[in-house]
């Protein structure tokens, strides 16, 4: 999701651990590191609840070599016999990545993003004093594209300059998906300890956000040192709800987008606390009544009840659904609870939100207390890929229905690009007042280098091999080159409906993490970062599927 920023609301006291997390902690203690927390065939514990012998063993030491041997496909590299055009297109995208990185390095290294028009850096206020968002977001893309020199530059910055000793209000969600996700992915890809230790250290700093009556975290966390002997800041480790979120609520797409990274933090540290914290939300969400089976976007971390009935598969809701299906996939299909939550949620979405326009375009509307808003955000366009990924693992009837739905939504998102003058899509498009897949409000005409549409192209390509997805991806490359490439990097544009757009002077870090990575992979063979071995977090950082090797490692 992408959220407006505003100063945190009044500080609230930290709360004692509630009952539900205590129960989880007990389950995890018995299950051992990265065993599935919830029910399903992966649970080996006897019904008696007797703790298995390995309960008392020393903390896990993650066996990286064993993990690498468990991968079913090589991580990167070209393959013999591929056609020259595909290779040339991939190399073009690699060149774009180098250009984006080189300019960031030259003008903004250590800042969070590059401002390509003014040739300086942007810090912003999303990351609580952390710096180098673009470095961390770019690391795995540089590695996968075999930009070795550039990868070494980024790594050097992490080793020498990435400072976690900061004191400021950060978005738990953004720090998790960009920093923790980027560091974890790079560790798994390279085995370099520095990425693992930084991820774990940062993960620890996020834990106080979960100190609420329900265990559902608040959205904003102060990253200051929590050791009171140092009196570093009176707000250190405290958390807040976003000032703009109604009645101190937490956001579905924020507290629901932690599982993938937090399970891996537990895996690598041997400490179940991360998995425990992230898993609490499923317990709470399974208890609360859902209007027509739908999940509203705002939930109180105090009562565990919904605060408002706004439902969206775009901003504020999006990656919650994504992490349900991906949690199941990452668990090697053992987290049956997450799979059921996903299946039920998608069924409700199909029933209440999926609509067809007069012109025959399928879209997913938003829902406000029972009233439909016939609008799709650019963010919602990730859902084509997600639904295709889920369809792949369904029974025959559902599989076909969901593959069709995924293809139709992806087609609609492509239309939102095709109907603009720049061939890039607007931030939101509507299906009302005679409008079809076009922005109707001036404030929704911008494009900020977002990845969701090419993300869906990648999944649809991998799952169908219909050449139109590569063709559509190439159209995006051409449009980016024409309208977003400036002298010193890539910039978002303020209006996709003019061929002489004004630039917004921002090279978003997710352009390097996601947009360019997904485009590159679209022109790779399927076994480069194979979906058999990896799941992409919502910032496109690949995290490994837990094949049986992890279990074997903890049993040694
Ligand atoms: C990224 O940070 C992630 O994809 C997130 O899930 C949504 N917003 C941006 C990209 O648009």
Between vectors from CA 427 to CA 177 and to CA 112, what angle results, nearest 5°? 40
When pLDDT is averaged across residues 502-520 and rounded to a whole number, the result is 99
Which domain does 429 fall in, by range?
A: 64-544
Q: Please tell me the predicted confidence (pLDDT) of residue 9.
A: 34
pLDDT surpasses 50 at 4 = no
Comparing 546 with 447, the larger pLDDT belongs to 447
> Which range has the worst mean pLDDT, 66-70, 224-228, 293-297, 345-349?
224-228
**CA of 540, closest atom in ligand 1:** 4
Instruction: Collect all residues with Cβ–Cβ distance below 8 Å to 327 and sequence separation of at least 6.
Output: 259, 260, 263, 335, 338
Domain membership of residue 24 (yes or no) is: no
Give the C-alpha separation, 532 to 333, whole Å.
12
pLDDT class for 78, splitting at 50, 70, 90?
low
CA of 2 to the centre of ligand 1 (A): 6
Comparing 206 with 552, the larger pLDDT belongs to 206
pLDDT class for 281, splitting at 50, 70, 90?
very high
CA of 450 to the centre of ligand 1 (A): 7
Domain membership of residue 11 (yes or no) is: no
pLDDT class for 246, splitting at 50, 70, 90?
confident
- Tell me which H or E stretch contains 371: strand 371-373
Pair type for strands 169-171 and 310-311 = unpaired
pLDDT surpasses 50 at 10 = no
Residue nearest to atom 11 of ligand 1 (CA): 450
Between vectors from CA 285 to CA 279 and to CA 290, what angle results, nearest 5°? 160
**CA of 1, closest atom in ligand 1:** 7
First to last CA, the chain: 40
Helices (H), 116-192: 133-144, 148-161, 172-174, 181-190
Count the alpha carbons within 13 Å of 516 in the hemisphere toward its beta carbon: 31
Mutate to test the pocket of ligand 1, among 312, 322, 379 (most ligand atoms within 8 A of CB): 379
pLDDT surpasses 50 at 60 = yes
Instruction: Collect all residues with Cβ–Cβ distance below 8 Å to 426 and sequence separation of at least 6.
Output: 378, 416, 420, 438, 439, 444, 445, 446, 447, 496, 497
Q: What is the pLDDT of residues 323-379, one digit of tens each?
A: 999 999 999 999 999 999 999 999 999 999 999 999 999 999 999 999 999 999 999
Q: Please tell me the predicted confidence (pLDDT) of residue 41.
A: 25
CA of 1 to the centre of ligand 1 (A): 6
For 234, the token pair is: 């009176």
| Radius of gyration (C-alpha) of the chain in whole angstroms | 22
**CA of 257, closest atom in ligand 1:** 6
When pLDDT is averaged across residues 24-46 and rounded to a whole number, the result is 32
> Which range has the worst mean pLDDT, 15-29, 228-242, 376-390, 418-432?
15-29
Give the C-alpha separation, 86 to 524, whole Å.
8
Domain membership of residue 515 (yes or no) is: yes
Q: Please tell me the predicted confidence (pLDDT) of residue 221.
A: 95
Mean of per-residue pLDDT scores for the chain = 88
Give the C-alpha separation, 552 to 556, whole Å.
6
For 383, the token pair is: 């859902």
Q: How many helices (H) does the chain have, and how many strands (E)?
A: 20, 19
pLDDT surpasses 80 at 18 = no
Residue nearest to atom 7 of ligand 1 (CA): 1
Residue 162 backbone class (left: φ over 0; alpha: ψ -120 to 50; beta: rest): beta
Domain membership of residue 549 (yes or no) is: no
pLDDT surpasses 50 at 240 = yes
**CA of 322, closest atom in ligand 1:** 6
pLDDT class for 245, splitting at 50, 70, 90?
confident
Give the C-alpha separation, 55 to 53, whole Å.
5
Whether 538 has a binding-site annotation, put simply, is yes
Give the C-alpha separation, 130 to 462, whole Å.
35
Q: Per DSSP, which regions of 14-128 are E strands?
A: 113-115, 120-122
Number of structural domains, the chain? 1
Inter-axis angle of helices 181-190 and 193-206, nearest 10: 150
Comparing 241 with 537, the larger pLDDT belongs to 537
Do 205 and 159 form a contact (C-beta atoms < 8 A)?
no
Residue tagged 């890809």 (tokens)? 189
Q: Please tell me the predicted confidence (pLDDT) of residue 140.
A: 98
pLDDT class for 548, splitting at 50, 70, 90?
low
When pLDDT is averaged across residues 392-418 and rounded to a whole number, the result is 96
When pLDDT is averaged across residues 280-292 and rounded to a whole number, the result is 97
pLDDT surpasses 50 at 22 = no
Ligand 1: which residues within 6 Å by Cβ?
A: 1-2, 319, 379, 450-451, 510, 514, 538-539
Residue nearest to atom 10 of ligand 1 (CA): 450
Q: Please tell me the predicted confidence (pLDDT) of residue 229.
A: 52
Closest residue by Cα to residue 286 from 341, 206, 218: 341
DSSP lists the bridge partners of residue 127 as 170
Domain membership of residue 551 (yes or no) is: no
Domain membership of residue 5 (yes or no) is: no
Do 537 and 185 form a contact (C-beta atoms < 8 A)?
yes
CA of 76 to the centre of ligand 1 (A): 24
pLDDT class for 226, splitting at 50, 70, 90?
low
DSSP label at residue 307: E
What distance lies between CA 454 and its chain's CA centroid? 15
pLDDT surpasses 50 at 284 = yes
CA distances to 102, 147, 168, 522, 524 from 93, in Å: 14, 12, 36, 10, 11
DSSP lists the bridge partners of residue 84 as none
Q: Please tell me the predicted confidence (pLDDT) of residue 34.
A: 36
Between vectors from CA 64 to CA 61 and to CA 68, what angle results, nearest 5°? 150
Q: Please tell me the predicted confidence (pLDDT) of residue 81.
A: 80
Number of Cβ atoms within 10 Å of the Cβ of 504: 19
Give the C-alpha separation, 394 to 339, whole Å.
10
CA of 301 to the centre of ligand 1 (A): 23
Instruction: Collect all residues with Cβ–Cβ distance below 8 Å to 221 and sequence separation of at least 6.
Output: 128, 169, 170, 172, 175, 205, 206, 208, 209, 237, 238, 239, 240
When pLDDT is averaged across residues 437-452 and rounded to a whole number, the result is 98
Q: Please tell me the predicted confidence (pLDDT) of residue 3.
A: 53
> Which range has the worst mean pLDDT, 30-44, 285-299, 394-408, 411-425?
30-44
Give the C-alpha separation, 138 to 146, whole Å.
12
Residue nearest to atom 1 of ligand 1 (CA): 539
Q: Please tell me the predicted confidence (pLDDT) of residue 255.
A: 98
The 3-state secondary structure of 317-365 reads CHHHHHHHHHHHHHCCCCCHHHHHHHHHHHHHHHHHCEEECCCCCEEEC
When pLDDT is averaged across residues 387-393 and rounded to a whole number, the result is 96
pLDDT surpasses 50 at 25 = no
CA distances to 72, 425, 522, 526 from 182, in Å: 22, 26, 20, 22
Q: Please tell me the predicted confidence (pLDDT) of residue 27.
A: 39
**CA of 452, closest atom in ligand 1:** 11
Predicted model pTM: 0.90
pLDDT surpasses 60 at 29 = no
Which residues are part of the catalytic machinery? 174, 318, 427, 452
Instruction: Collect all residues with Cβ–Cβ distance below 8 Å to 119 and sequence separation of at least 6.
Output: 107, 488
Q: What is the CATH number of the domain that holds 242?
A: 1.50.10.10
Residue nearest to atom 3 of ligand 1 (CA): 539
Torsion, CA 399, CA 400, CA 401, CA 402, rounded to 10: 50
CA of 413 to the centre of ligand 1 (A): 16
> Which range has the worst mean pLDDT, 23-37, 451-465, 509-523?
23-37
Do 411 and 427 form a contact (C-beta atoms < 8 A)?
no
Mutate to test the pocket of ligand 1, among 450, 504, 517, 518 (most ligand atoms within 8 A of CB): 450
Give the C-alpha separation, 67 to 8, whole Å.
41
Closest residue by Cα to residue 302 from 211, 207, 206: 211
Torsion, CA 494, CA 496, CA 498, CA 502, rounded to 10: 20
Q: Please tell me the predicted confidence (pLDDT) of residue 80.
A: 78
Residue nearest to atom 5 of ligand 1 (CA): 1
Domain membership of residue 123 (yes or no) is: yes
Instruction: Collect all residues with Cβ–Cβ distance below 8 Å to 183 and sequence separation of at least 6.
Output: 136, 139, 158, 195, 196, 198, 199, 202
Domain membership of residue 156 (yes or no) is: yes
CA of 178 to the centre of ligand 1 (A): 9
- Tell me which H or E stretch contains 399: helix 396-418
């Amino acid at each position: 999701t992408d959220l407006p920023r505003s100063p945190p609301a009044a500080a609230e006291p930290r709360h004692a651990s509630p009952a539900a997390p205590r129960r989880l902690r007990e389950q995890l203690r018995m299950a051992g590191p990265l065993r599935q927390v919830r029910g399903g065939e992966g649970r080996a514990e006897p019904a008696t609840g007797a703790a298995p012998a390995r309960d008392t063993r020393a903390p896990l030491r993650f066996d990286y070599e064993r993990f690498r041997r468990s991968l079913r496909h090589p991580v990167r590299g070209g393959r013999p016999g591929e056609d020259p055009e595909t290779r040339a297109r991939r190399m073009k995208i690699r060149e774009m990545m180098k250009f984006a990185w080189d300019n960031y390095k030259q003008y903004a290294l250590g800042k969070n993003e590059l401002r390509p028009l003014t040739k300086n850096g942007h810090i912003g206020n999303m990351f609580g004093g952390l710096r180098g968002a673009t470095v961390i977001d770019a690391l795995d893309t540089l590695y996968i594209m075999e930009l070795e020199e550039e990868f070494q530059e980024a790594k050097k910055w992490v080793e020498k300059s990435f400072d976690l000793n900061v004191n400021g209000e950060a978005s738990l969600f953004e720090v998790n998906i960009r920093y923790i996700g980027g560091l974890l992915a790079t560790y798994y890809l390279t085995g370099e300890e520095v990425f693992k230790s930084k991820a774990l250290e940062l993960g620890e700093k996020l834990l106080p956000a979960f100190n609420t009556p329900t265990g559902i975290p608040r959205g904003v966390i102060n990253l200051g040192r929590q050791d009171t002997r140092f009196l570093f800041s009176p707000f250190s480790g405290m958390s807040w709800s976003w000032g703009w979120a109604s009645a101190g609520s937490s956001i579905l797409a924020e507290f629901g987008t932690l599982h993938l990274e937090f399970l891996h933090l537990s895996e690598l540290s041997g400490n179940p606390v991360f998995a425990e914290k992230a898993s609490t939300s499923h317990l709470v969400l399974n208890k609360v009544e859902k209007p027509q089976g739908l999940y509203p976007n705002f939930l109180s971390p105090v009562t565990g009840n919904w605060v408002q009935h706004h439902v969206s598969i775009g901003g504020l809701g999006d990656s919650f659904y994504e992490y349900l299906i991906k949690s199941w996939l990452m668990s090697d299909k053992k987290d049956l609870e997450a799979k059921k939550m996903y299946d039920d949620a998608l069924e409700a979405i199909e029933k209440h939100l999926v609509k067809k326009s007069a012109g025959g375009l399928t879209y997913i509307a938003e829902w406000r207390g029972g009233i439909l808003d016939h609008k799709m955000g650019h963010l919602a366009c990730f859902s084509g890929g997600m639904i295709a990924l889920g369809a792949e693992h369904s029974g025959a009837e559902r599989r076909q229905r969901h593959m069709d739905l995924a293809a139709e939504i992806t087609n609609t998102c492509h239309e939102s690009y095709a109907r603009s003058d720049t061939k890039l899509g607007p931030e939101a498009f509507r299906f009302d007042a005679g409008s079809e897949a076009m922005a109707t409000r001036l404030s929704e005409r911008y494009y900020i280098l977002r990845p969701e549409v090419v993300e869906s192209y990648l999944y649809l390509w991998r799952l169908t091999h219909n050449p139109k997805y590569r063709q559509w991806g190439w159209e995006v490359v051409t449009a980016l080159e024409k309208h977003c490439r400036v002298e010193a990097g890539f910039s978002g544009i303020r209006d996709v409906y003019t061929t002489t757009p004004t630039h917004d002077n921002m090279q978003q870090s997710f352009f390097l993490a996601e947009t360019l990575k997904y485009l590159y992979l679209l022109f790779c063979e399927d076994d480069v970062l194979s979906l058999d071995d990896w799941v992409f977090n919502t910032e496109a950082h690949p995290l490994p599927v837990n094949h049986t090797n992890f279990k074997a490692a903890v049993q040694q």
